[in-house]
Amino acid sequence: EDQVTQSPEALRLQEGESSSLNCSYTVSGLRGLFWYRQDPGKGPEFLFTLYSAGEEKEKERLKATLTKKESFLHITAPKPEDSATYLCAVPGETSGSRLTFGEGTQLTVNP
Amino acid sequence: NAGVMQNPRHLVRRRGQEARLRCSPMKGHSHVYWYRQLPEEGLKFMVYLQKENIIDESGMPKERFSAEFPKEGPSILRIQQVVRGDSAAYFCASSQDRGREKLFFGSGTQLSVL
């Protein structure tokens, strides 16, 4: 069974203080890894898909990287509007669209 | 270009009543997924449907829960005889194709069972 573990559970940063979120996974075969952002009271919003170890994707202050066992979401010089819960997920073996989500990292960026 | 539409946003039911949650996928999307987010837990897959077909219902509780995606109209997640443990946020997502596709999520329906 696929497993996804995210750390830390919660992270408080000062505006401009860069950091990284971790997503480690155990799957029978890597079929990709998704990052989503979820704001309170809303559904997850897609950020990135990574398909192979060594791949990197960037969007504004966010950069996602992937190794064979984990993924990192690097946040450079964050702003208060980056405050959200960040979720990672892996697709299932038999049904690629069945995502197994981690429990998320709740990021708070203070001004 | 509307996104995934879910209604109602909030639904209050008493124990034993039925709950019906609706989801209209994004235009052009024929694949619909339902996920549940219990308090203090992550998102859990429930069911994957295409028009008139249930493709994967391995995450659905065996009793009281059912889902459909008719040829016309929204997808419906139906919970019969609700219990307090059914209180959760229910999210619908859609995609244009199956497989390694990103999902577009709705804003969810918050179900509260009194």
Confidence band (pLDDT; 50, 70, 90) for B84? Answer: very high
Note whether B42 contacts A: Cβ–Cβ < 8 A. Answer: yes
Note whether A14 contacts B: Cβ–Cβ < 8 A. Answer: no
What is the model's pLDDT at position A94? 67
Lookup result for tokens 């890894």: A33
3-class secondary structure, B103: coil
Q: Which tokens go with B85?
A: 């443990």
What is the model's pLDDT at position A31? 82
Q: Is the pLDDT of residue B99 over 60?
A: no
As a whole number of angstroms, the distance between CA B112 and CA B61 comes to 18
Lookup result for tokens 């690097």: A74
- Please identify among residues 80-99 of chain B the ones whose CB lies closer than 8 Å to any CB of chain A: 91, 93, 95, 98-99
Give A100's contacts in chain B (Cβ within 8 Å).
45
3-class secondary structure, B86: helix
Strands (DSSP E) found in A15-97: 19-26, 33-38, 45-50, 56-59, 62-66, 70-75, 84-91
